[in-house]
Amino acid sequence: MRFLERLDFRINPDFLKISTSNEPTVIGMNLTCDSFILLVKIPSMLRYLLFTGFFLFSTSVWAQFTIKGKVTDAETGDPIPFANVILKGTTTGITTDFEGNYFLSPSAISDSITVSYLGYIRQTKALRKDPDQTVNFQLRPESFELEAFVFEAGENPAFEIIRRASDRRKNFDKRSLEAYETKNYTKIEIDIDNLSEDFRQRRSVQKVTSVLDSIKQLTDDEGEKILPVFFSETFSKFYYRNNPELKKEVIEKSKVTGVGITDGSTTSQITGSVFQEYNFYKNWLPILNKDFISPISDGWKTYYDYDLLDSVLIGQDTTYKLQVYPRREQDLAFTGFIWIKKADYSLKQVDLTIPKEANLNFVDRIKIQQELIPTPAGPLIPSKTRVLIKIAQVSDNTPGLLAKFYTVTDSILVNDPMETKFFNQAVELKPDYGIVESDFWEKYRPDPLSVEELAVLQMVDTLKNIPIIKFYSEGLKFFATGYKQIGKLDFGPWPEFFNYNNVEGVRLGMGLRTNYKFSKKWELKAYGAYGFQDEEWKYSASVTRILDRARWTTIQAYSSREIDQVGLEMSNLQGNSIFLAASRFGTLRSPYFSSNHGLNIQREFFKGFLMKGGLNLSQFDPLFDFYFLDKDTREYKSNFATTEIRAGIRYGRDEIIIINDNERASLGSVKWPIFEVNYARGMDLLGGDLDYQKLSLYVYHRINLGLFGVGRYELDAGKIFGEVPYPILKNHLGNETLFYTTAAFNTMNFTEFTSDRYFSIRYRQSFEGFLLNSIPLIQKLKWRLVGNVNALWGSVSDRNLANIPTVDPVGNPLNSFGRLDFGTPFLELGYGVENIFKFFRVDFFHRMTYLDNPGAKPFHVKVSAQFIL
């Protein structure tokens, strides 16, 4: 009998062969393992039986050997999809799925497993000998420099792939569909991170430290501590219609919990998927009000370099995996990976990051991960999208902010458009959106909440009930909104509590308004102030009835008595309480008492189209030397009354509107300009002294100019018909301060020009990083060029000039207003640099015309502080 000496056992996927000779036996079959070798020498039949039994035993053991786990970001706790997981020393590996999970059933045995991904530090962990084990990884972000790729001969092979993908964008852009609708689940989490030890030791923070330490961290011991402050889940339906392009989201169910959140209705409107839409088939993607260039845009070669890494099978699709790099690291461009299907050059998935070097402020990282699926008509819809925005620390001793968004889309229906009237309201809340059965979320959310996310909910619920947290959160809301909510009333606005000027001396004021807790149909407002120098009371009061919230319809009655300034009327500053209060400090120019009583009504008839009308009775009582010649009595008068019937329309084709409690708030337009036309008829009825008509047009438009940044223009035109005193005319707003403002002509003096017909255009250009991003010594400073061109045409008719006396009734000279020659515009040109030390801006203005006017200066320097990304 021969003892065990040799058995050669090899696996080959193509054949199975058993030999009964005394030579080594070669065995192969279709298995996942590579090889296993054992040397035997035994008689033929016994060798065959032993080998068969050993083979069956081995196969059974290997089939049960599995490794699984999850790969997450150590700082944020977010999954890392598409990461490479490899058994060390073997070729056995896999990539993580969109949730960061992996599963291996290896044939080759290793003592450790390694995970790697671009932008993260590679990590290796030891394996146990257990047949089934779970190994999780928390990878830490790594700073890396983009390499330069030099191709000595021929074209970069990645270019042809990108060229074809870019050329076929219209075939796969979901905007080419006649219509589509989807069901969406959106999850948002906001955390405070980078909690330094100095920050944790602050007295105000120590009261929450014990709570923070008592609840499990969002990552494990390898991660960073974060303080959750907001968490929301939303189920919604999203509707899109082409020609005309319209969008709408219906919030069906929503759950919002957060520090300082008192009412979920407003918050629920902005936590849906409509604000988390990222379409890489657009040339530019708007993120945080900045425009980022897509890697497959028309101008891809101007902004990006590419590296073709591999051909990868994803599901049933063979894809090209490409790495993308910005050509200039300061540009608003992405770095990371994209996967393009080999069959039709459509996007399969993306994993892209905005690096630290990009010309952004306060943003440490923006990361977008997306999977796309084809619709029955061909164009693609993102099935899963994950976005991470990490706001950096302002200083070493301040915390940062982390915002995480996750959207899952399914139940896609295409080319069945809803009627245009359906899109009248951009975001709609179902009546029972906040009424949810106890097991609803567990039953219908696509993925169960992780242990970390459950800890987030626990922490937020705990924090918002801590007194010190309540104090700070309510304080921030008070500062931002101007009002402090106490039950059914809001008190404020705080900027008008105290003022000081040359007319009123010390001025103290206080106001209140009802909120949604009082009523969602009625809103009452009142404000009172007293000047200790003029010893006069000022007040305003209004009652508003909300008749229809879907097609925003309101009727309002109001009454007020206040101090205004010619050319700076309070009615033009409503909604900007800080600027309004600032206008009451210091020296008031051409002040007067203004009494107004009237009625307003407005209604939105269809998407973006709002009509309004009203009646206004006013009284003008000047507090400066002012007279005009009454055309009927031919006598000089200093005060007058007006009765105006008013009407207006406003149209913003793609303007995004939300209902903020009992107010209608605009979030701006996406692509098209916003138009506003107003008409007023002054009548000598109901106490009115003047007969005139006023017609005006206003247009605002934001234009994305790609490489050249963003432009914004404002058109303002109007005409006044009839003979009126100059306070009724258009008194163009100048700026004699050191500070730059977009609301005025920055080289014009206060009340320098007045017109009864006028046309103006104000254009400002933000070049972002254009030019300066390419200058080696400047690009690190992240400065950005800005430019201004402001022009004004205007004139005053002879009959209105005749009504303005040059002396008062006793012969003292009066100051006359300046006027424009319509053939010669007032023109100013400006240029400057913003983002100096992240906050400051310096503008240099040249006044080009009317240099002979009294007080005119040809050159001005304006400074300003701004908080911009």
E strand segments, 284-344: 284-287, 290-293, 304-314, 317-326, 335-341
Last-in-domain residue among 406, 437, 469:
469
**Which pLDDT value is given to residue 207?**
60
| Residue 253 in domain | yes
Residue 320: inside a domain = yes
CB 504 within 8 A of CB 534: yes
Element (DSSP H or E) covering residue 253: strand 246-258
Structure tokens at 203: 């007295």
Query: In 10 A of CB 78, how many CB atoms?
Result: 22
d(CA 198, CA 217): 19
**Together in a domain, 100 and 229:** no
User: What average pLDDT does this structure show over 224-250?
Assistant: 85
More confident residue, 180 or 218: 180
pLDDT value, residue 815: 67
Question: What is the average per-residue pLDDT within 863-869?
Answer: 81
Whether residue 337 is predicted with pLDDT greater than 50 in this model: the reply is: yes
Q: Band of the pLDDT at 6, cuts 50, 70, 90?
A: very low
User: What is the predicted pLDDT for the residue at 584?
Assistant: 78
Contacts of 691 (CB under 8 A, 6+ apart): 682, 683, 684, 722
Residue 448 pLDDT more than 70? yes
How far is residue 405 CA from its own chain's centroid?
12
Asked whether residue 454 is assigned to any structural domain, the reply reads yes
The predicted model gives 610-620 an average pLDDT of 96
pTM equals 0.75
Question: How distant is the alpha carbon of residue 239 from its chain centre?
Answer: 20
User: Among residues 453, 469, 485, which one ends one of the domains?
Assistant: 469
Burial class (CB in 10 A: 0-12, 13-18, 19+), 852: exposed
Q: Write down the pLDDT at residue 3.
A: 36
Q: How many whole angstroms separate alpha carbon 747 and alpha carbon 845? A: 7
Distance CA 582, CA 154 (A): 64
Query: What does DSSP assign to residue 35?
Result: B
Which of 469, 493, 527 is at the close of a domain?
469
Instruction: Identify which has the larger pLDDT, 31 or 217.
Output: 217
Tens of pLDDT, residue by residue over 373-407, are 999 999 999 999 999 888 876 666 667 788 889 99
Structural element, H or E, at residue 86 = strand 84-87
713 in a structural domain = yes
Which of the pair, 34 or 361, is modelled with greater confidence?
Answer: 361
Residues 186, 134 share a domain? no
- Residue 794: burial class (beta carbons within 10 Å; 0-12, 13-18, 19+): buried
The average pLDDT across 83-105 equals 85
Could you tell me which residues come within 8 angstroms of residue 151 by beta carbon, excluding any fewer than 6 positions away?
none
pLDDT digits (tens, 9 = 90+) for 767-800: 988 888 878 778 788 889 999 999 999 999 988 8
| pLDDT band, residue 115 (cuts 50/70/90) | very high
Domain identity same for 131 and 178: no
Q: 160 lies in a domain?
A: no
Beta bridge partners of 469: none
Instruction: Evaluate whether residue 352 is within a structural domain.
Output: yes
* Domain extent at residue 129: 66-139
Q: How many CA atoms lie within 13 A of 726 on its CB side?
A: 29
- Other beta carbons within 10 angstroms of residue 19's beta carbon come to 14
The number of distinct structural domains making up the chain is 3
User: What burial class does residue 146 get, using C-beta atoms within 10 Å of its C-beta: 0-12 exposed, 13-18 middle, 19+ buried?
Assistant: middle
> pLDDT tens-digit profile of 474-506?
777 787 778 888 889 999 888 889 999 999 999
Helix (H) or strand (E) holding 347: strand 347-354
Q: What is the mean pLDDT of residues 669-694?
A: 92
Confidence check: pLDDT of 97 > 80: yes
Which carries the bigger pLDDT value, residue 94 or residue 788?
788
The pLDDT score that the predictor gives to residue 54 is 43
Nearest residue to 729 (alpha-carbon basis) of 758, 759, 754: 754
614 assigned to some structural domain: no
CATH of the domain at 131: 2.60.40.1120
Tokens found for residue 444: 């219908």
- pLDDT confidence tier of residue 15, bands split at 50, 70 and 90: very low
Same domain, 273 and 124: no
For residue 23, pLDDT beyond 70: no
Q: Taking phi first (over 0 means left), then psi (-120 to 50 degrees means alpha), and beta for anything else, what does residue 375 get?
A: beta
Reported as a single tens digit per residue, the pLDDT across 726-746 is 889 998 988 888 888 888 899
Please report, for residues 235, 694, 701, 718, the alpha-carbon distance to residue 793 in angstroms, rounded to integers and kept in the order given. Answer: 52, 17, 20, 11
User: Which string of b and e fits 159-173 if b means at least 16 CB within 10 Å?
Assistant: bebbeebbeebeebe
Buried b (16+ CB within 10 A) or exposed e, 312-331: beeeebebbbbbbbbeebbb
Contacts made by residues 308-317, CB under 8 angstroms, sequence distance 24+:
308/156, 308/157, 308/158, 308/161, 309/337, 311/342, 312/95, 312/339, 314/339, 314/348, 314/349, 317/341, 317/342, 317/343, 317/348
Query: Residue 746: inside a domain, yes or no?
Result: yes
pLDDT level of residue 92 (50, 70, 90 thresholds) = confident
User: Looking at the structure, do residues 129 and 184 belong to the same domain, yes or no?
Assistant: no
Q: Are residues 755 and 697 in the same domain?
A: yes
Give the CB-side neighbour count of residue 420, counting CA atoms within 13 A. Answer: 11
312 and 400 co-located in one domain: yes
Token pair for 712: 């914004």
Residues 265 and 208 in one domain: yes
Three-class DSSP category at 275: helix
- pLDDT value for 566: 86
Percent of the residues in the chain that have a pLDDT greater than 90, as a whole number: 37
* pLDDT of 29: 34
SS3 sequence, 204-216? HHHHHHHHHHHCC
Rounded distance between C-alpha atoms, residue 728 and residue 520, angstroms? 37
- Distance between CA atoms of 500 and 137, rounded to whole angstroms? 61
> In this structure, are 109 and 190 located in the same domain?
no
How distant, in Å, are the alpha carbons of 617, 640, 693 from that of 684? Answer: 11, 11, 12
pLDDT of residue 390: 86
- Mean pLDDT throughout 3-9? 37
What confidence tens digit (pLDDT) does each residue in 547-591 have? 998 889 999 999 999 998 887 766 665 655 555 666 778 888 889
Percent of the chain with pLDDT over 70: 83
Largest Cα–Cα separation, the chain: 142
**Residue 164 pLDDT more than 50?**
yes
Same domain, 180 and 131: no
The whole-chain average pLDDT of the chain stands at 82
Both tokens assigned to 408: 């899952």
Average pLDDT over residues 234-238: 92
Contacts of 336 (CB under 8 A, 6+ apart): 118, 119, 323, 324, 350, 351, 352, 353
**Exposed / middle / buried, residue 854 (Cβ in 10 Å: 0-12, 13-18, 19+):** exposed
Phi, psi at 513, each rounded to 5°: -150, 155
pLDDT at 676 over 80: yes
- Backbone CA torsion sign across 188, 194, 197, 198: negative
CB-based contacts of 214, cutoff 8 Å, min separation 6: none
Span 648-656, mean pLDDT? 89
pLDDT score of 846:
97
What is the band of 459 on the pLDDT scale with cuts at 50, 70, 90?
A: confident
Say yes or no to pLDDT of 612 above 60. Answer: yes
* Whether residue 372 has pLDDT greater than 70: yes
| pLDDT tens per residue across span 406-436 | 999 988 999 999 988 888 888 888 888 877 7
Sign of the four-CA dihedral 604, 608, 612, 618: positive
Nearest of 289, 370, 296 to residue 333 by alpha carbon? 296
Whether 61 shows a pLDDT value over 80: the answer reads: no
Query: Band of the pLDDT at 206, cuts 50, 70, 90?
Result: low
Q: What pLDDT band is residue 149 in, cutting at 50, 70 and 90?
A: very low
* String of DSSP letters for 427-474: EEE-TTTT---TTHHHHHSSSPPPHHHHHHHHHHHHHTTSHHHHHHHH
15 contacts: CB under 8 Å, gap ≥ 6: 28
Assign 654 to helix, strand or coil: coil
Looking at the structure, do residues 823 and 703 belong to the same domain, yes or no? Answer: yes
More confident residue, 142 or 689: 689
Contacts of 504 (CB under 8 A, 6+ apart): 531, 532, 533, 534, 536, 563, 584
What 3-state DSSP class applies to 155? Answer: coil
Give the pLDDT band of residue 453 (cuts 50, 70, 90): confident
pLDDT band at 43 (very low <50, low <70, confident <90, very high): very low
Q: Are 22 and 39 in contact (CB under 8 A)?
A: no
One domain for residues 202 and 134: no
